[in-house]
Structure 1
Amino acid sequence: MIQNSFIHMQGVGKSTEEKLWNRGITNWSLYEEAHSKGEKLPMAGTMMRSIDTSRRHYEKGDLLHFQGLLPAGEAWRLFPEFQESTCYLDIETTGDGHWCDITTIALYDGKTVRTYVNGENLDDFKGDITAYATVVTYNGKSFDIPVIRRVMGIPMEMAHIDLRYVLGSLGIKGGLKRCEEILGLGRTDLAGVDGYAAVVMWNQYKKTGERRYLETLLAYNVADTVNMEPLLVEACRMRRDTIPEGARFTLPATGNPATPHIPDHGVIEEMRRLHRSSQGNQW
């Protein structure tokens, strides 16, 4: 999809890109071909230079170049051709704003789920994340990525698709779980467990040492992470269905990863009671 894109080029907006697509100029090579035939094209000089620059970055696999130029809501374009180098990421924290500490991290690459726990193997994340060219988060632009940089000192210099903006551009708004509900991705086992409960489970684990709290927290963290893949694929499908045939792309099937952590039903019920109590206290 990147080679079909023009909106990352200087002075090109979505309307210009759509006009080019509707003329049958659905990729860089077709633009160059039309230019060589002497066809009248928008911003021909600028566009030809931009295509040359874009191709050089594309051939190097430099997705960060394109992510820096694409509107946040259009970052989904980085995914279709580069699924194999894409990962999904979510962190859980102590909950005290941007000055929080990281408690757990879940990482998923479409095949394998990895989890990292503060005080156990959190430092392993530093090496593992370098294997990926693109990271997908929900609201990570504002939270997960800055927190990882501050707490762990990791530059996180890879392309970033923030689903909050991608889904928002499609009119799908709210928190991650609300977006899941809108698109039909429910969480039966972990329904009623939220970010506040994640903080409580960590505190209970540290207080009691009972692994059932940690396992349930990790299961929740993993659910946040693996559900980003079908959300991104569905967003790409919705976009694909609105563009001309010549710019369309093939979408991968979403995975069905084995869950490495099993939530404890007693802990879940405890968190649901906490959730109901907090909801009641709002009235």
Structure 2
Amino acid sequence: MIRNTYIHLPKVGLKKEFIIREQGINDWDDFLERDIKGISKKTKAFYDRKILEAKKELYEGNSAYFTDKVPTTETWRLYEFFKDEIVFLDIETSSSTSMESYLTVIGLYDGIDTKTMVKGINLNPAALKNELKKYKLIVTFNGSSFDLPYLNKKFPGLIPDIPHIDVRHLCNKAGLKGGLKEIEKQIGITRNNVIVERMYGGDPIKLWRMFRATGDKYYLDLLVEYNEEDVINLKKIAEYAIKKIKNKSYQSEKSPSKALTPESTSS
């Protein structure tokens, strides 16, 4: 998807991108080979240089190049290219109401294996920083509002300068509303661990407090399993939403009269 994206070019937004595609410019190679209506020769030459630059950075695996060039609402376009180098990330904290709380659990999922770090057991900021350096994209749910600002405040310099996909905003774009658990139900994802929901109200903070109060590893195991399901399901939801957005985009391009409505251009 990133290779038929033009919004990384200066002064090209969703509407102008649609106009480019409407001329049969389906990818960067098409763009380089053809003249484009509405773009002067001088601007086209400048854009050609920018596309060649983007191709070079993309094929060298430099996802950071796109961090400040692709709008945060459109970083999902990088997903397919970097799908084998993505980390799905979710954190748990000792309180949901204060930045004075502390990190209790952080879960990472690379699409195959999960890694979990727990305060007082194996949570090591230096090791975590090295782990995050391995990836090209970070995917969270509501991470632009909570997880990443929280981690940046608690551990400055921890988060690498790579694009971030917030699945909450991705779901809004795809017409899926609500929190992570509500969206899981909407698309038919069933959790293996129902004990947390039924007995502890789906509250990871309560599980951490019970573990700290009793020292009983049972509560910690429940918390870790709960967090693991969060990060694993993030991948399922992200891919469901991206497929839906791509289908919606394809239908819009087939129906130009719908494509430039305020609804389609605002997303």
Counterpart AA for 1:86: I
Cα separation, 2, equivalents of 1:173 and 1:143: 18
Any stretches of 5+ residues in structure 1 without a counterpart?
A: 248-283
How far residue 76 of structure 1 moved from its aligned partner, in angstroms, is: 0.9
| Matching of residues 75-224 of structure 1 within 5 Å | 75-95=75-95, 96-123=97-124, 124-153=127-156, 154-187=158-191, 189-190=193-194, 191-192=197-198, 197-224=203-230
**Per-residue deviation, 1:34:** 0.5
Query: Between the two proteins, what is the percent identity of the paired residues?
Result: 30
Question: What code does the residue aligned with 1:216 have?
Answer: L
Q: Which whole-Å CA distance do the structure 2 matches of 1:29 and 1:194 have between them?
A: 54
What is the CA RMSD across the aligned residues, in angstroms? 2.3
Distance between the aligned counterparts of 2:201 and 2:91, measured in 1? 10
- Which ranges of structure 2 fall in alignment gaps of 5 or more residues? 254-267
* Contact in 2 for aligned 1:7/1:14 (Cα 8 Å): yes
Q: How many pairs were matched up?
A: 243
Q: Which amino acid aligns with 1:205?
A: F
Of residues 188-197 and 54-63 in structure 1, the stretch that sits farther from structure 2 once superposed is 188-197
| TM-score relative to the length of structure 1 | 0.79
Shift of 1:244: 5.0
Q: 1:230 & 1:194 partners in 2: Cα distance?
A: 25
Q: Aligned partners of 1:80, 1:226: CA distance in 2, in Å?
A: 17
Matched, 1:9 2:9: yes
Seen in structure 2, the aligned counterparts of structure 1 residues 149 and 100 have a Cα distance that, compared at 3 Å, is same
Aligned residue for 2:58? 58
User: Deviation digits for residues 87-136 of structure 1, max 9, x if unmatched?
Assistant: 10000001142332100111100111111100111113232222111110
Deviation at 1:192, TM superposition (A): 4.3
SS in 2 for 1:200: helix
Q: For 1:11-90, what aligned pairs fall within 5 Å after superposition?
A: 11-35=11-35, 39-42=36-39, 43-90=43-90
TM-score by length of 2: 0.83
